[in-house]
Amino acid sequence: MEQLKTTAEAERKLLLQTTGLSIGYKQGRNNLKEVATGLNLEMFAGEVICLLGPNGCGKSTLLRTIAGLQETVLGTVEIEGTELGQLKPALLAKKISMVLTDNVRSGDLDVYSLIALGRYPHSGWLGRLTTEDKSVIDQAILSTATGEFVDRKLATLSDGESQKVMLARAIAQDTPIIILDEPTAHLDLPSRIQLMRLLHRLAKDTKKAILISTHELDLALQVADQIWLMQAGGHMATGLPEELVLNGSFAEAFNKDGIMFDPATGSFNMHASGVKSIAVNGDGTAAFWTRKALLRKGFHISGAQKESLAVTVLENAGQPRWTLEKDRKITTYHTLRDFLKNVNLIEPT
Amino acid sequence: MNKIKVSVLLALLVFAFLLDVALGSIHIPFKAVLGILISPDTADTTWLYIIQQIRLPKALTAVVVGCGLSVSGLQMQTLFRNPLAGPSVLGITAGASLGVALVMLSAGTITSLYSIKELGISGSWLIILASSIGAAMVMLLVVTISSSLKDNVIVLIVGVMIGNITFSIISIWQYFSAPELIKDYLIWTFGSLGGVTGDQLLILTIVVIIGTAISFVSSKLLDALLLGDNYARSMGVTVKRARLLIIGSTSILAGGITAFCGPIGFIGIAVPHLTRALFNTSNHRILIPGCCLVGTLLMLVCDIVAQLPGSQTVLPINVITALVGSPVVIWIIVGRNKLKGF
């Protein structure tokens, strides 16, 4: 067992490492504002890392510092063993590519030209593309499924399409590390899932290390091999997503007034826990959604059988039925709406 | 596809060039013009003089100016990522004007006499030097301020304001200057393609070739800058160095041209848009030569219009470029708005 673990560790190729890193930004002329200190972070090949944290806690500053767009305050960032400051800009561009939140407004740019710009660090002084460049670009287009709109102008793309195009550009840059700053911010749910799945597959297939800052907690829990959880004040917790759920880091980071992180479901409860208690018996989809509905109505769900109020959800040939038991009085409802209307009328005991 | 476009442009360009040489206040038959261009020895001496000393240099100046202004306008639009940027909008022309005003309005005073006699700097060199320095100073000022600004609209406003400040300094100077000197300066501000002959034309051509060459060399940088400073940096561009290079070549182009021909507006804004629309690309390796072609053609057309074919009057070139250039700018803004509505 021990041996197995060490070989597995050895196979994880360390691409980026920060040691005692302090990050910050200039505010005014001489005023340096530190947002986080003493960061020891590691990025391995083939891993997706999600950087989570509330707005304004310094996620972008961290990304920009790691990528060399911003000076480090203290400590070091090493990329494949070389310190960031020792890497010439042209060489650094072959190590890290980025997808930023910057709005690219150049409406005359067509999609293919934009993706081809990813070859910038590799192409000659005039930027002429070789056959090798072209095949890398084609590969990037293929893996992001952007082929159907390569001829369109940037200005005509939807947010989801343009985010995929920016990712294709980063892939064409052909770097071991890709950093994305809130890539899912303006996307609808299907596009968000699509993009996250794409990033996950990309990391596995190409052995790239992909660092994503995001607010999508549930998606991050699903795709991340590692989570960097940042809190206002610069405190950073890192580890497997499940570790962070179990050791309470998530609850600590996100619990605010009336919002509770529920480790049992990995999601947030936005409804304050109610005064009325009800036991919900039964499993399956109908029971699951009944619990959700009751939570919304302000009920506290308890698993205990001894509650004076209990509902049993039974599914019969796809037809759910709600059996409400109150003080041994039993009523059966055939629709959820009906059940909720009646259960709501019950005064708290 | 591009080859056809370039061929058509080249054909139009040759035609416009010949037409520009053939037209003027003194009527010379088209056949005679061709004759003089092909074998100068057999021609009428008066006509030969007019063609060789006046019209040919003027047409060549139009070619050089059209190239230089268009390329510098293209660079400014890319660097500032603003479709309305151009050498004149961001105060470069104002800076050049200040340099020229400094020389012209202080003509006969100690500064210019000293430079002419002691340093051996003669008229055209002094003007081109003063103009280029003036242009570069204003441009550096705009870029220094803009480096701490994120919003391109604010950068544009800063450029326009610095231009205004520069022009008001010139106005104050004019207020205290002798009327003859002011008249010289005012005529210079109307812009003129004439009067640039011999050595001066050679100097101007060299200046524009150098400026355009620098621009062409930095075409890869310009492509990367289309995505903004941060993306450019992430692709390995040293943005400050790139800015300096682009500012350098723009100052050489706009400063040099303004020194010899006076401020010529709108070509720098309009031509890049025309070229982008025509070649349907944002690749500077294609756009820069494209701007040279389109800019040259438009400048020759403007010069032909300025001569009011069939009349004895010649209008100032600056009036015509604005007259032709402004509708183009309007057309672009309206077109852009439609695109957003998609």
Q: Which residue of B has its CA nearest to A100?
A: B231
A274 pLDDT more than 80? no
Alpha-carbon gap: B235 to the closest alpha carbon of chain A (Å) = 5
Contacts of B342 in chain A (CB under 8 A): 155-156
Rounded CA-CA distance B155/B142 in Å is: 8
Contacts of A182 in chain B (CB under 8 A): none
Query: Which run of H or E residues covers position A245?
Result: helix A241-246
Alpha-carbon gap: B248 to the closest alpha carbon of chain A (Å) = 19
A162 lies in the same domain as A299: no
Chain B interface, best mutation among A63, A108, A175, A178, by max B CB count within 10 A:
A108
Q: Domain span at residue A78?
A: 13-95+175-270
Q: Decide if A226 is inside a domain.
A: yes
Q: Tell me if B220 and A126 make a contact (CB, 8 A cut-off).
A: yes
B293 pLDDT more than 70? yes
Evaluate whether B137 touches B95 at the Cβ level (below 8 Å).
yes
> Can you give the pLDDT at residue B240?
77
A155 lies within 8 A of chain B by CB: yes
Q: Tell me if B282 and A110 make a contact (CB, 8 A cut-off).
A: yes
Phi, psi of B24 (to 5 degrees): 175, 180
pLDDT digits (tens, 9 = 90+) for B258-267: 888 888 888 9
Which among B51, B88, B8 has a CA at the least distance from the CA of B271?
A: B88
Strands A96-99 and A276-281: unpaired
A160 lies in the same domain as A46: no
Q: What is the mean pLDDT of residues A270-292?
A: 79
Average predicted confidence (pLDDT) for chain B: 83
Percent of chain A clearing pLDDT 90 (strictly above): 36
Q: In b/e form, how buried is each residue of B308-340, taking b as 16+ CB within 10 angstroms? A: eeeeeeeebbbebbbebbeebbeebeeeeeeee
Q: Decide if A108 is inside a domain.
A: yes
Q: What is the mean pLDDT of residues A288-299?
A: 84
Q: Tell me if A102 and B231 make a contact (CB, 8 A cut-off).
A: yes
Give me the residue from B220, B227, B234 closest to A67, CB to CB: B234
A168 pLDDT more than 90? yes
Q: Decide if A4 is inside a domain.
A: no
A123 lies in the same domain as A187: no
Please count the residue pairs, one from chain A and one from chain B, whose beta carbons lie less than 8 angstroms apart: 82
Q: Which two tokens stand for residue B220?
A: 């890869």
A168 lies in the same domain as A287: no
> Can you give the pLDDT at residue A16?
94
Percent of chain B clearing pLDDT 70 (strictly above): 88
Q: What is the mean pLDDT of residues B34-59?
A: 82
Higher confidence at residue A97 or residue B130? Answer: A97
Boundary residue ending a domain (A172, A202, A222): A172
- Say which residues have a Cβ less than 8 Å from residue A135's Cβ, sequence separation at least 6: none
Q: Which residue of A has its CA nearest to B335?
A: A107
pLDDT digits (tens, 9 = 90+) for B79-118: 888 787 887 767 878 888 888 888 877 765 555 555 555 5
Higher confidence at residue B108 or residue B5? Answer: B5
Rounded CA-CA distance A82/A178 in Å is: 17
Rounded CA-CA distance B339/B273 in Å is: 15
Which among B219, B267, B304 has a CA at the least distance from the CA of B22?
A: B304
Boundary residue ending a domain (A112, A145, A172): A172
Please report, for chain B, the start and end positions of each structural domain, with discontinuous segments joined by +. Answer: 57-340
CA distances from A167 to A14, A48, A116, A134, A222 (A): 23, 15, 12, 17, 20
Alpha-carbon gap: B142 to the closest alpha carbon of chain A (Å) = 19
Q: What is the CATH number of the domain that holds A48?
A: 3.40.50.300
Give me the residue from A69, A98, A107 closest to B339, CB to CB: A107
Q: What is the mean pLDDT of residues A237-259?
A: 81
A91 lies in the same domain as A225: yes
Which among A27, A173, A16 has a CA at the least distance from the CA of A93?
A: A173
Which among B270, B296, B275, B261 has a CA at the least distance from the CA of B93?
A: B261
Phi, psi of B71 (to 5 degrees): -65, -40
> Can you give the pLDDT at residue B316?
87
Residue whose pair of structure tokens reads 């051996």 in the numeric block: B120
Which among B250, B261, B307, B305 has a CA at the least distance from the CA of B73?
A: B250
A35 lies in the same domain as A79: yes
Q: Which residue of B has its CA nearest to A67?
A: B234
Average predicted confidence (pLDDT) for chain A: 85
> Can you give the pLDDT at residue B303?
92
Q: Which two tokens stand for residue A288?
A: 């699951």
Q: Decide if A42 is inside a domain.
A: yes
Q: Decide if A6 is inside a domain.
A: no
Q: Tell me if A155 and B342 make a contact (CB, 8 A cut-off).
A: yes
Q: Which two tokens stand for residue A286?
A: 């109908």
Q: How confident is the model at residue B342 (pLDDT cuts 50, 70, 90)?
A: very low
CATH T-level assignment (fold) for domain B57-340? ABC transporter involved in vitamin B12 uptake, BtuC (1.10.3470)
A182 lies in the same domain as A298: no
Higher confidence at residue B325 or residue A43? Answer: A43
Q: Decide if A8 is inside a domain.
A: no
Q: Which residue of A has its CA nearest to B218?
A: A126
A90 lies in the same domain as A25: yes
Percent of chain B clearing pLDDT 90 (strictly above): 26
Q: Which residue of A has its CA nearest to B227?
A: A104
Boundary residue ending a domain (A270, A298, A320): A270
pLDDT digits (tens, 9 = 90+) for A102-128: 877 666 788 999 999 999 999 887 778
Domain count, chain A: 3
Cβ-based interface (< 8 Å): residues of B facing A: 81, 217, 219-220, 223-224, 226-228, 230-231, 233-238, 276, 281-283, 285, 336, 339-340, 342
B340 pLDDT more than 50? no
pTM for the whole structure: 0.81
Give me the residue from B219, B238, B282 closest to A109, CB to CB: B282
Higher confidence at residue B340 or residue B163? Answer: B163
pLDDT digits (tens, 9 = 90+) for B178-226: 887 888 788 778 888 887 777 889 989 999 999 999 999 999 999 998 9
A180 lies in the same domain as A89: yes
Contacts of A173 in chain B (CB under 8 A): 235
Q: How confident is the model at residue A48 (pLDDT cuts 50, 70, 90)?
A: very high
Q: What is the mean pLDDT of residues A87-91?
A: 91
Q: What ipTM does the predicted assembly reach? A: 0.79
Contacts of B276 in chain A (CB under 8 A): 108
Chain A interface, best mutation among B78, B217, B231, B276, by max A CB count within 10 A:
B231
Give me the residue from B276, B336, B342 closest to A156, CB to CB: B342
Phi, psi of B35 (to 5 degrees): -60, -45
Q: How confident is the model at residue B341 (pLDDT cuts 50, 70, 90)?
A: very low
Chain B interface, best mutation among A98, A110, A113, A117, by max B CB count within 10 A:
A117
A residues 102-141 closer than 8 Å to B (CB)? 102, 104-110, 113-114, 117-118, 120-121, 123, 125-128
Alpha carbon A257 to its chain centroid, in Å, reads: 23
> Can you give the pLDDT at residue A305?
61
Give me the residue from B230, B238, B283 closest to A113, CB to CB: B283
Contacts of A90 in chain B (CB under 8 A): 236
Intra-chain end-to-end CA distance of chain A, in Å: 55
